[in-house]
Amino acid sequence: MILFLKARQRLPRKSLMILAKAIKAKSMEQQSNEVYEVVVVGAGISGLATAVALTRLGISNIIVLEKSDSLRSTGTAITLFPNAWCVLDALGVAPKLTYLYDPYDKWHIKNIEDGSRRTFTTTETSPRRKMEARVVHRKALLEALASELPHGIIRFSSKLISIKSEAIKDLERLNYLLLEDGTTIKTKAVIGCDGVHSRVAQWLGLPKPISSGRSAIRALAVFPDGHGFPNEYRTYLDNKGIKVGFVPLNKTELYWFVVHKTSTSDSQDPDQILQEVIENLQARNFPDDILTVVKHSDSSSLIRTPLLLRTPWDILFCRAHRWNVTVAGDALHPMTPDMAQGGCTSLEDAVVLARNVFSGTQISDSGFARYLRERQWRTACLTGSAYLAGWTPQDNRPILNRFMAWFIKKIFNRFVFPKMRRYAICYECGDLPTIMEKKST
């Protein structure tokens, strides 16, 4: 760098550009010769949690590739149930968030057409701890996880293009990751946490996620003088596929959402979406409290996204690892938000994967299969339950619609959903072993 600055004083511009390219090429050559123990693809919730879990186990030769130029905050806020807080406890991140967000212990669901109501508690007591639910800003969660990682471990503007795996010696393999800027990265293990449209999942041969036929609108509502709502989760739905809900984040902000049938005419303009939501809620006679919340929306936070899922049988029966490459989070089990478990299960993946795959400071190839065996049944059950919980009538299918309406009201809502809700939130991922424990095994 000193030589470059000195040269800058006496070389013409063209020569400086050649010199700069040579320095960059030399840096990339040195970088390409380094072999990483692990590369995590994606710096979302799953990717950052996985990286934190690995560093807790003493895996230091690791990088996280993120295609964006900063931490992503798509989604505005996220509900973290007790199972997610167990993970954050294991990662040592929970204290950074619990003092910022108050817990809530009631979740109310009301059908506005028949007046039926259901109320669930979101606080559970395990033998080890009292577990609570909180809603947090997604950005705050990402920043809390990222702050636990060594400086420079996250590489932004690093979009994965392709993967190549080669055998080297004694059944060992090396993976070559080609990035959009032409850089090639060598690594022993690849963990794809790159979301619903995962490049890693595509390389593994996993089927593409399918459409649920619904979309979600999410936003923050801001009340500068305080909103006055109790710290409870409220959800309203009708019999035509509309579900709306809101929950306080703090004294001045609430998180709200609307789930509706996807239409080819759906707009992506925030102001137009907001006007559409208000008109539809008024036309369908939804309660005044949700209308009040929506009218106080911060339009810059408003987004609409299609809801995709991987079918339970694809999660169960498709091989989600090849050699020392696997996937986690939405790359493995994208699900609809009807049980609010997408982010929670992504956090669970991080601890389970780290515990199974890494022995001492070495990769255990058989650990990838153990990790997936532990995760596939649970996430397949939750994905299927979430789909049923949010099922909506289909056009031109009257017999199926009548049967499904009866099944969901009489069977699923009464017997299955309460058990699956408890199965979801009472799960404990366990603790990460200490570095000394790992070395002694």
Give the start-to-end residue ranges of the domains of the chain: 2-32, 34-77+83-209+310-440, 211-308
pLDDT at residue 138 above 70?
yes
CATH of 34-77+83-209+310-440, one of 3.40.47.10, 3.75.10.10, 1.10.260.40, 3.50.50.60: 3.50.50.60
Residues sharing a CB contact under 8 Å with residue 223, sequence separation 6 or more, in sequence order: 252, 253, 254, 296
pLDDT tens digit sequence for 58-117: 888 999 999 999 987 666 899 999 999 999 999 999 999 999 999 998 899 999 988 889
Question: Which region among 8-17, 120-129, 423-432 has the lowest average model confidence (pLDDT)?
Answer: 8-17
Mean pLDDT, range 142-164, rounded to an integer:
96
Of 439 and 359, more confident: 359
Is the model's pLDDT at 367 over the cut of 70?
A: yes
Q: What is the pLDDT of residue 217?
A: 96
Out of 92-106, 259-273, 315-329, 356-370, which region has the weakest mean confidence (pLDDT)? 356-370
pTM to 2 decimal places: 0.89
pLDDT mean over 281-298:
94
CA distance to 145, 350, 369, per residue, from 328 (Å): 16, 8, 13
Least confident of 257-261, 264-268, 356-360, 436-440: 436-440
Q: Are the C-beta atoms of residues 241 and 404 closer than 8 Å to each other?
A: no
Asked whether this chain's domains 34-77+83-209+310-440 and 211-308 adopt the same fold, the reply is no
Mean pLDDT computed over every residue of the chain: 88
CB of 192 closer than 8 Å to CB of 41: yes
* pLDDT surpassing 60 at residue 146: yes
Examine the pLDDT at 204 and tell me if it is beyond 50. yes
Q: What is the structure's pLDDT at 9?
A: 53
Helix, strand, coil content of the chain in percent (nearest 5): 40, 25, 35
* DSSP, res 369: H
Mean pLDDT of 3-17: 53
Query: Is 241's pLDDT higher than 90?
Result: no
Residue 72: per-residue pLDDT: 79
∠ CA 26-175-47, nearest 5°, is 95
Give per-residue pLDDT as tens, 22-60. 554 454 444 557 899 999 999 999 999 999 999 999 888
Residue reference for tokens 């509309």? 242
Separation of alpha carbons 426 and 120, rounded Å:
13
Confidence (pLDDT) at 436: 43
Share of the chain above pLDDT 70, in %: 87
Q: Above 90 in pLDDT, residue 382?
A: yes
> What is the enclosing helix (H) or strand (E) of 418?
helix 417-425
Q: Which amino acid is at 223?
A: F
CATH architecture classification, 211-308: 2-Layer Sandwich (3.30)
